[in-house]
Amino acid sequence: MKENETEKYLIRNQIFTGALEQKFLKGYRKFFSIHEIETSSILQWSFGAFLLTYYITFYNWVRESTITIEAYASNKYSCWSYFQNCGEYYFLKALPYGYSQTTLYVGFFALMVLTVYLIWKKEWVLAHFGLLILFIWKVINIFVLTVGGGNYDYYDLILSTIFLFFPYKLFFLKLVFVLLYFLASTIKIHEGWLLGSYFTSLHTGLPIFGNSLAPFITNIVIFMQVVGAWFLLSEKKILQRIAVSYFLIFHLYSGILVQYRYMTTAIPMLLVLFGPLYSATKVPLNKKSIAGWIFILILFIFQSIPFLIKGDHKLTLEGNRYGLYMFEANHQCVSSATIYYKNGKNASQKKETASARNRCDPYRVWFNLNEICKRSSVPVDKISWTLDHSINGSPFYRIVDIQNACSLTYRPFAHNTWIKTFEDSPEIVGYPVKNIYN
């Protein structure tokens, strides 16, 4: 009787009074297992943590012109290799060219404020719907409209997917949070981390500890991601608390390099799921849990894609973005292209990057060159192109040396023979000097 009274005063039951609307809301609540959020304070806190990640994401995106009509027109954009004509679907105009992008994000801001209000009123069904809209836009942005999203966005979306869609939300949130450390360790089992040369190649070196300790620190990180992360799920309080403390310090430490963005994704969720409210959760093994287990299998499959493509994906970047790729290698590159126009004129294009984070993906350079081939106002005859890539302070290898980039195609899930791997013995064209993180 008391529950019915509470139900009566819920916002959704006062606004949507029609029988059909009520039926839809009940179905929605059941389909998305929202009763779990209603009864778990950890899930309720994690709702807030998710909103924070969406806020910080959109705070950055509103100022960027990545998916705008202008980006497409000026060829300053990149599509996923599995959807190479994404730019044709851009519809936003960013400042100073138009108001549509800022209008859209003001709308999202209003939605976030409304969602916070709905959380405060314990109106979990409508709050869930608010977050679902933010989630859909983020998925479209990250996996459809541009390839430029950050790896932390993957964390947000993977965890949001569990929170929004699957039963046994709490169990799978905890397990997948740990699993993300485990999967992220796969990209660290490589020279840059085993020797610590990722950091010693930086002009500023390894923060706080210095370069002498680099290989020890990086191997401790690998150990904690492979082994230590699982202690977050431990029933033994001391072990569990040690693991939480380590990862809290780890994220704060990594913030010295990666700054606020990744910390915002990781730390609130770490503390909510494994902090003071933590208790071990029973493993669900019934039919309802199948979706969660399949999702975990999918994460493994995607993480394995770059390893299944021929060559060292740290050098070729093929398949690199299908899984977690953060801090996979310290990159430097030089791209030199000569554009031969049909009217007999030439133009040179040289791009250099010394930022360890700038991944020198041959696909993305080719993508922009190919757009010139297709869309230049002066018809293009051919584009000759070389790409020299150095990882973790190693020599610059000429991994692309092509007479005509316009004649190339890029295969998203297989090796592209025009990109040289170490097995092809690419020519060494020089040595890098120390570089910068960002």
Partner 1 sequence: MEKLNKEFIILKGLEGHPAIELNIAQKFFFPKIQYIDFFWWGIWIFILIYVTTKYLLKPLLTLTRKN
Can you tell me the distance from the alpha carbon of 102 to that of 129, in angstroms, rounded to the nearest whole number?
22
- In one letter, which amino acid is 355? S
Can you tell me the distance from the alpha carbon of 330 to that of 357, in angstroms, rounded to the nearest whole number?
7
Hey, which residues between 135 and 164 contact partner 1 (CB under 8 A)? none
Nearest to partner 1 of 70, 401 (CB atom): 401
Per-residue contact flags (x/-) with partner 1 for residues 396 to 435, judged by CB under 8 A = x-------------------------------xxxxxxxx
Nearest to partner 1 of 181, 410 (CB atom): 181
Binding segment (CB under 8 A) for partner 1, from list 46-54, 62-70, 71-79, 346-354: 346-354
Hey, which residues between 219 and 238 contact partner 1 (CB under 8 A)? 219, 222, 226-227, 230
Hey, which residues between 245 and 304 contact partner 1 (CB under 8 A)? 283, 285, 293
Per-residue contact flags (x/-) with partner 1 for residues 23 to 62, judged by CB under 8 A = ----------------------------------------
Task: Name 386's bridge partners.
Answer: 336, 401
Query: Is 394 among the residues that bind partner 1 (CB under 8 A)?
Result: yes
Pairing assessment for the beta strands 331-341 and 380-391 based on DSSP bridges: antiparallel
Can you tell me the distance from the alpha carbon of 389 to that of 430, in angstroms, rounded to the nearest whole number?
10
Per-residue contact flags (x/-) with partner 1 for residues 305 to 334, judged by CB under 8 A = ---------------------------x-x
Can you tell me the distance from the alpha carbon of 316 to that of 417, in angstroms, rounded to the nearest whole number?
10
**Nearest 5°: CA angle at 207, between 205 and 209?**
95
Nearest to partner 1 of 144, 213 (CB atom): 213
CA distances from 315 to 6, 8, 57, 360, 361 (A): 59, 60, 29, 9, 9
Residue 286 · residue 297 · CB < 8 Å? no
* Least distance to partner 1, CB of residue 184, Å: 11
Instruction: Name the helix (H) or strand (E) containing 347.
Output: strand 346-353
DSSP 87-105: GGG--B--TTT-SHHHHHH
Q: Which of 98, 207, 215, 412 binds partner 1 (CB under 8 A)?
A: 215
Query: Is 191 among the residues that bind partner 1 (CB under 8 A)?
Result: yes
* Least distance to partner 1, CB of residue 222, Å: 6
Residue 322 · residue 305 · CB < 8 Å? yes
Query: Is 209 among the residues that bind partner 1 (CB under 8 A)?
Result: no
Nearest to partner 1 of 98, 284 (CB atom): 284
Can you tell me the distance from the alpha carbon of 92 to that of 69, in angstroms, rounded to the nearest whole number?
6
Record the tokens describing residue 213, joined without a space: 């300790």
Which residues would be at the binding site for partner 1 (CB under 8 A)? Answer: 175, 182, 185-186, 189-191, 194-197, 200-201, 203, 211-216, 219, 222, 226-227, 230, 283, 285, 293, 332, 334, 352-354, 388, 390, 392-396, 428-436
